[in-house]
Structure 1
Amino acid sequence: MADPPVIIWEQEVGRLLSYMDLIPYLEDALGKFSRRDSTEVIQPVRTVVPLQKHGGFMGLMPTYMENDGVLCTKFACFYKREKGSTLPAVQATVVLLDPEYGNIKAVIDGEVITNMRTAAVSAISAKLLMPPEAEVLTILGTGKQALSHYKVFTEIFSFKEVRVWSRTKKGVERFVCSVGGPVKGCSSAEEAVRGADVIVTVTGSTEPVLFGQWVKAGAHVAAVGACRPDWRELDDVLMKAAVVYVDSREGALSESGDVLLSGAEVFAELGDVINGTKSAQREKTTVFKSLGMGVEDAVSAKLVFDQWKLKATKLLWLTMTPRISQRRWIGV
């Protein structure tokens, strides 16, 4: 008989998951995905259900990794909120299943997983594509994804300067106060971008906020927002001048407005670079268009669940140890 499913809430996910543990798993998963071996990863393009009444949509992201024994799906709801709305823009839940029996092993809060795996993949793109000796990081956006990107980029890289911009002064001030590290708030996107070596766009914008004429030659851009075919963060000048990398070519050609509306050519998937089948053109301006993939959620959820089991085993052992010691003392 299968064990009942466990529920792992947001705070616990945050305690169980670290970037240093997560990044190697994601690199391995991206490489497996880009090899297109059906026994490695089966991941259809995200299924999208419009939620027109509420100004959003639900994405269903199933993944099966046969060799790793991972069966998983994520339910993610995205909304275009009005300015000043207190409602969340993104909600997500990850369900981990047993591939042999088909039962649910764990229901895991998906917000931390989504934020951390997205930021970690952006950091992987920077590791592979940013110019050598990059000194200036710019983040456009001040939401939860901006915070997760700040954390991982400052954890694994050494930038001399970090800049941030948001559409509102209040957003910039809140971000600067919350990160607990050195960061310069900028009054305009152009001010934040000029001279930056690495630029991360994590906005809710549906129209370009980053323009090619501002971008330093040889800079690397990790574009995370604009996950629908009619949404944009980057203008045509930047998209056509840059060497464009994606997480999934099929996904980008279905969902990315930055790719579809600009007519830019996709040079490679990030996994192709990891596998050595495509080059990392660091000497040129590069764009990594991130849409997020089920395989990223799958390996993240498995890592969380494995860490949860390890913690539960340790706690069980600690609770049993006094009893074992007592039995030995009385000769039982």
Structure 2
Amino acid sequence: MILIDREKLDQIMTPERAVQAVKEAFLLYSSGKITQPLRQTMTVKGNWWGVMPSLSDNAFVVKVVNVIEANRERGLPPVQAGVLVFSPDTGEPLAYVDGTALTAVRTAAASVLSTELCYGRKVGTLGIIGAGLEAEYHAKIALGYLSVSRLLITARKRHFELAKRVGGEAVELERLLKESDVVFSLTSSKTPVVIGKLLKEDFHVSSIGAYTPDARELDDDVIRRVRTYVVDSLEAVSKESGDFIQPKERGLLEGKRVVEIGRLLAEGGRVERPSLFKTVGIAAQDNVTAYYAYKYYL
């Protein structure tokens, strides 16, 4: 069994490979060619933990992931995870992958893929809300895959440091929302940080936070304005995300195109904007991305 740590994963999973991996994962998921039960969740010492198994033709993968907000004060990423890759044929463990880095890679690649599908690969101004590990990987993969003219970053703290490191500009939230063509919202906030009335007339938003029914990253005005609401999994967001559950209960999704990204990939065609991609993360992404890491390691 091989060990793939963050340093090795960064070498293996180039932006092109990362986006290709999640593209394959979403296609497999929406076509029913990957098996993934809904994640099992537990509360451990007040923190959210999840167990995510999945099976493809190439790999049986299990990820254990948690979100521990107190880690921010410890100087650690709030999301911690480990991923085991097994052969579905022999049952042998093939690899252990740093799941914290893998989660950041596959989540960032999904946001970038949604941007390519809904907006295109040429972006004027990209705004990132957040300054943690996810923000770092979103900046890295976006700048490596898309053509971005300007990068704006905002957060409660540490965005000046991240902006300097990745070549962006640290700004206040209101300015980011007003000036960005594409927004990546990467927060742990339970109340909206993306305010619809502040966004441009034409926009694309990728939101990875609000992964519980009571949490929101997007206000109702964002939902009202979007024409195409793209999700990673209808089943998952219908059970887990307040940004989907609450607007649906209020009738705000009526008349909009709501579509899984895998279905969008399979069908092709033009996406009407403004657009939104809501992702809570699915095991298929971990499965294919971890297998790519194993395959390209050899």
Which residue of the partner structure matches residue 258 of structure 2? 267
The letter for the 2-side match of 1:25 is: A
Which residue of the partner structure matches residue 201 of structure 1? 185
Cα distance, 1:133–1:88 mapped onto 2, change above 3 Å:
closer
**Structure 1 position 134, deviation (Å):** 3.3
Which residue of the partner structure matches residue 281 of structure 1? 271
- The answer to whether the 8 Å contact 2:126/2:181 transfers is yes
Q: What is the TM-score when the length of structure 2 is the normalising length?
A: 0.91
Alignment partner of 2:12 out of 3, 9, 16: 16
Amino-acid identity (%): 27
Alignment partner of 2:296 out of 299, 302, 307: 307
Alignment partner of 1:152 out of 131, 138, 141: 141
The letter for the 2-side match of 1:46 is: R
Cα offsets for 1:230-260 (capped at 9, x unmatched)? 2211111112321211000100001111111
Cα offsets for 1:42-62 (capped at 9, x unmatched)? 1112111112x2x31111111
| CA–CA separation in structure 2 for the residues paired with 1:15 and 1:244 | 33
Cα offsets for 1:114-167 (capped at 9, x unmatched)? 111111111110000016853111111111111111111111222221111111
Alignment partner of 1:258 out of 232, 237, 243: 243
Q: Which has the higher contact order (CA 8 A, sep 6+)?
A: 2
- The answer to whether the 8 Å contact 2:24/2:288 transfers is no
| CA–CA separation in structure 2 for the residues paired with 1:17 and 1:57 | 27
Deviates more, 1:152-161 or 1:285-294: 152-161
| CA–CA separation in structure 2 for the residues paired with 1:10 and 1:210 | 30
Cα distance, 1:223–1:172 mapped onto 2, change above 3 Å:
same
Q: What RMSD, in angstroms, separates the aligned Cα atoms of the two structures?
A: 1.9
- The answer to whether the 8 Å contact 2:72/2:78 transfers is no
The letter for the 1-side match of 2:266 is: N
Other structure's SS at 1:13 match: helix
Which residue of the partner structure matches residue 31 of structure 1? 27
The letter for the 2-side match of 1:233 is: E
Residue 62 of structure 2 is aligned to residue 73 of structure 1: yes
Q: What is the TM-score when the length of structure 1 is the normalising length?
A: 0.82
The number of residues matched between the two structures is: 291
Which residue of the partner structure matches residue 100 of structure 2? 111
- The answer to whether the 8 Å contact 1:131/1:197 transfers is no
The letter for the 1-side match of 2:107 is: T
- The answer to whether the 8 Å contact 1:235/1:262 transfers is no
Which residue of the partner structure matches residue 225 of structure 2? 241
Residue 119 of structure 2 is aligned to residue 130 of structure 1: yes
Instruction: Give structure 1 stretches of 5+ with no counterpart.
Output: 310-332
